[in-house]
Structure 1
Amino acid sequence: MVTSLLVVVIVLAIIFDFINGFHDAANSIATIVSTKVLTPFQAVLWAAAFNFLAFFVIKDHKVANTIAKIVLHDYVTIHVIMAGLIAAITWNLITWWFGIPSSSSHTLIGGFAGAGMTNALYMGHNMLSAVKMDYVIQIISYIVLAPFIGLFIAYIITILILHLCKNAKPSTAERWFKRGQLVSSAALSFAHGGNDAQKVMGIIYVSLVTTNVITDGMPMPEWIPLTCYSAIALGTMSGGWKIVKTMGTKITKVTPLEGVSAETAGAVTLFITERLGIPVSTTHTITGSIIGVGLTKRVSAVRWGVTINLVWAWIITIPISALIAAGVYSLFRVFA
């Protein structure tokens, strides 16, 4: 029974990673598509290739380790993990359907934590005792910090580029910026793969520990990162066109120069947080970066109505995912 449930959990984790890829494809390709540097088909192939390239480079898996330890071991069961994944998949599909660039990272965290806290309640314990609060506080704080870091870096990069290129011919500069977008988009896709694939690695790893397939502290089996990077790359290749439209055109009009700035800022932020083992949202980061380049023109260049709606989606993602997971876990308690 446990073995079959473990297989189901691993399959659900891979499905989530695939959905994460096409849900978050917009993060990597929205600006490069909106500036017509690449066609949508070329862009998803480009992004997917660099998503997968991270497998060969990133070997420390600090983000995966953080995710695996959000819920304390005493409250983790195979049903807790399954409920968290079902909740995360459900919310990701809902937000994708409505074209809302919510965070796949936070829906997974919210689902896992929500199921763990519900298990604690059934055990007669304080639900907050189920989660490692310092990790949770850090993650919640970066809901606010990540977009502002991306915004600040993008703003500075754009101002520097404008100053350095003030005497360049516009046609020549735009041609170079379009080439630069290939590099910045590749860097962002690489960072996206390296950051987001690790979240599912952490879930699969804790599933193997929970079912005693491996012991806690053992090195992660190589098939886990290979599978996760493959799934997220294949998902990216499937695209996420509703969210691409929101990210690429609805927040602010993006030029090749601004695309380079936004993607570079997003990539820098993700590289830093990955090295620190902080599971930040790629979506939040690149959205903040796009706003940052918009602000270099004027405050009114940013469509604040759209942006405020996105912020509300970010705020509710963790609690709604947690509530969905609580409901799913409660059903498991009744019927499993």
Structure 2
Amino acid sequence: MSKNMATATTNPNRPIFPFTAMVGQEEMKLSLILNVIDPKIGGVLIMGDRGTGKSTAVRALVDLLPEMTVVSDDPFNSDPNDPENMSDFVREKVQNKEPLVINKKKISMVDLPLGATEDRVCGTIDLEKALTEGIKAFEPGLLAEANRGILYVDEVNLLDDHLVDVLLDAAASGWNTVEREGMSISHPARFILIGSGNPEEGELRPQLLDRFGLHAQIGTVQDPELRVKIVEQRAAFDEAPMTFRHLYKQEQEQLTDLLFSARERLPKVEISPDLRMKISQVCATLNIDGLRGDIVTNRASRALACFEGRGKVIPQDIWRVIPICLRHRLRKDPLETIDSGEKVKETFQKMFDI
């Protein structure tokens, strides 16, 4: 691992506020949980006021992430059982019938700093080594480290356009390609993209906004009792982090086990053709561009049903997830902010006769 990558990866030794200790912000927590159960949902954009726990919640998610099987000496976290998405390094070993050293590692979360250079994000080719030794010497970047994990961008609406383009290319293809002086190297770059930001500081480009599977809106808690509880918990954590974490150890372990079992059971969860049809009718009525809204709503509904122990999706599952799946895909006036989800809910009620 390069020095840059080491500093960008979330520090596992730094005490993290427990996810199960967070008060309120249910929409944000649900969005994160659904993405852990089904990474193909496509990540989540969390937008809200300053000081509402956006970064705290995302970093707290690290504790809950399950392990994955990787090829130990591969810098791209290749899955030894997925030939289509493994790196060239691993594929050559397989073709040459060389033994693969396989182990388990916790899914990682990588921070993408706003001021990062394109080389740091994508990686670089050591041209001098390539010319003198005749080998492709590649220094992996953050996209390599984030493969099969989470890529987190805080204040994503302030991200430079050139990095937005890089993320769009990687998110669209699942691969990252680095070219220099006629040389080209590609590696898998499939990650859960999580972004957070304050809408007062600017909106995202529509192309990047559409790449987020879910959109969670959060606001400052107004209930005085809840505000006091949040302040007290934060003070207790800051004073004695390890002691505070120990208080929630059992709840954290229970949620981790539940998420692991949900990931295992997810392929068996069913959604009826009738519910699929109604989801698409809602998307068509709302004039949602493309089919990503339909796909994400189906996936999120199945993930929620699985999380709550059901083998089949019910209309209530769709009701709970469809606002966060569609609100950022609605066509809107340039001067309007993103709909809170009321328009989506109204259309849902008409289609489902609720």
TM tier, shorter chain?
under 0.3
Larger radius of gyration: 2
With the length of structure 1 as denominator, give the TM-score of the two structures. 0.23
Structure with the largest fraction of helix: 1
TM-score normalised per structure 2: 0.22
Structure number with higher relative contact order (C-alpha < 8 Å, ≥ 6 residues apart): 1
Task: Write 1 or 2 for the structure with the bigger share of strand.
Answer: 2
